[in-house]
A and B are shown apart, each in its own frame.
Chain A
Amino acid sequence: MSEALADDMLVCRCEEVTVGDIKKAIRDGARDVVGVKRRTRAGMGLCQGRTCEKLVQQIISKELGVPASETGTSSVRPPVRPVTFGELAKGDVEDD
């Protein structure tokens, strides 16, 4: 883990968010993973942050000088995996 991270290095590859984007989000007031996500879309792509969340936590931790345990974790909402609109449309939505 190199100290001198180039600003153009990708962190969230799904949404193509770089180290520089995340540092800027932190300068703009992001204090946790959700704050960075709202400002940059990091973690909002196909993998839903499975690859980048820990990397985002590390950057926040270093930039703000806080332990990783204080950098938070992403919120989730369904569907947690990609589903086609076709399947959603024919889905079983009856109630009890």
Chain B
Amino acid sequence: MIHKDVLVIGAGPSGLSAAIEAGKAGADTLLVDLNLKAGGQLFKQIHKFFGSSAHHSGTRGYEIGSLLLKQARDAGVEIWLQSTVIGIFPGGKVGIERGLDNGEKDLVTLKAKTIIIATGASENAIRFKGWTTPGVMGAGAAQTMVNVNHVRPGENIVMIGSGNVGLIVSYQLMQAGCNVVALLEAAPKVGGYSVHAAKIRRAGVPIYTSRTIIEALAGEDGSVCGCVTAAVDDHFQPVPGTEETLKCDVITLATGMKPTMDLVKLAGCALKFHGPLGGYVPIHDERLETSVKGVFVAGDSTGVEEANTALDEGKIAGISAAEELGYISHEDADAMRSEIWSRLDSLRLGPFGERRMKEKKAMMEEYSETVKVPAAFQ
């Protein structure tokens, strides 16, 4: 059996920065990711990031990914790609389906003294008549197609949801040469940043607020040929008589995300429901430790937010894991964490971040009330 100080699961922004911190501190660190390439969602983010000019802002997501990868290698982090954690077993043993250089897979078991779960989030589906018709897909899937695989999902797109994902992916689909027919938002206002909305409005894309999709229409070949939309009332119910039909060959859903929970559930971490964070999340303390001793979380897997906050949460988790193992003194770890927390708090200011900040604080309070001391692995 392989033994490691720190196992980081998921090589997105939070997992990479966690691995970098743990590796830099001297911990024997393994980073595992199921994709061909490390970087998680960063490599499909071709837009320039918001944030502080001191921390990569104005840099495109994929460039941040490359930078982090290099830092991880420099920090001595071992990286297994195309490798999937298939289970966390009693006593903290981890089963990994490891991708080998020859394309084969091998099943290995590993014991890590600490585990950082940074498995991100998955897209929400919404249901409407015909939602399983070919041509209806997640906005993230469409984004992967154009930005990673360089394939257009179709010619004429209708985007559902005006959060930042819906707005940014609409823009990127146009950059790839697609036509975005319209963006529908069931709420009475645009969900994402107005600067992102302004970009697609300038490009001639209408945004219909208080309107949603009620049916995907299928053509002769069985795939999407249009959709029926309707205005919605204050309770998000379609108003009869307001139906309109749009022609399109792809319908993309940008209707929120939820944390990926399977590994935290297997590890036995206590969960709580926090709607603004995407649903059930593993609760954690200021050190990002869950209710299970030595198991940490970071990034979207503990509340759907943004890459910038994921990067900082990852750092905290990496520092805390190294502290747990004695590679960083408690005093140093506290000082490092408090600097990052003050930056995180400032990133979570403003009308968009505040709700998440409150929810995160409430969650950490719940932790201190209900967990107090993390329990050993069952």
Direct A/B contact, Cβ within 8 angstroms: yes
- Which A positions have Cβ atoms within 8 angstroms of B? 1-3, 5-6, 9-11, 13, 19, 48, 50-55, 57, 68-69, 73, 75-81, 83-84, 87-88, 90-96
Main secondary structure of the interface of A (DSSP, over half): loop
Min C-beta distance of A4 to chain B, whole Å: 9
Q: Is the CB of A92 within 8 A of B279?
A: no
A19 to B212: give the CA distance in the assembly, Å: 20
By the criterion CB–CB under 8 Å, are A81 and B84 in contact?
yes
The answer to whether B107 touches A92, judged by C-beta atoms less than 8 angstroms apart, is yes
Are B265 and A76 in contact, CB atoms less than 8 angstroms apart?
yes
A-B CB contact pairs (8 Å), 12 listed: A1-B212, A10-B131, A13-B132, A50-B260, A54-B279, A76-B262, A78-B95, A80-B87, A81-B34, A91-B95, A91-B106, A92-B108
Q: Which 3 A-B pairs have the closest CB atoms?
A: A78-B87, A91-B107, A69-B273
The answer to whether B122 and A50 have CB atoms under 8 Å apart is yes
Is the CB of B85 closer than 8 A to any CB of chain A? yes
Query: Do A10 and B132 touch across chains, with their CB atoms under 8 A apart?
Result: yes
Output the nearest chain B residue to A90 by Cβ-Cβ distance: B107
| A65: min CB distance to chain B, Å | 15
Instruction: Say if the beta carbon of B177 comes within 8 Å of chain A.
Output: no
- Contact assessment for B261 and A73 in the assembled complex, using a CB-CB cutoff below 8 Å: yes
Contacting pair B1 A88 (CB below 8 A): no
Q: Is B127 an interface residue (CB 8 A)?
A: yes
Instruction: Point out the residue from A3, A9, A78, A90 that lies within 8 Å of B86, measured CB to CB.
Output: A78
Residues B111 and A81 in contact, CB atoms below 8 Å apart:
no
- Say whether A1 contacts B105, CB under 8 Å: no
In the complex, are the beta carbons of B266 and A80 less than 8 A apart?
Answer: yes
Q: In the complex, are the beta carbons of A87 and B266 less than 8 A apart?
A: no
Complex Cα distance, B279 from A96, in Å, reads 38
Residues of A within 8 A of B209 (CB): none
Residue among B108, B124, B262, B280 making CB contact with A80, cutoff 8 Å: B262
| Interface: B193 (CB within 8 A) | no
Residue of A nearest to B266 (CB): A76
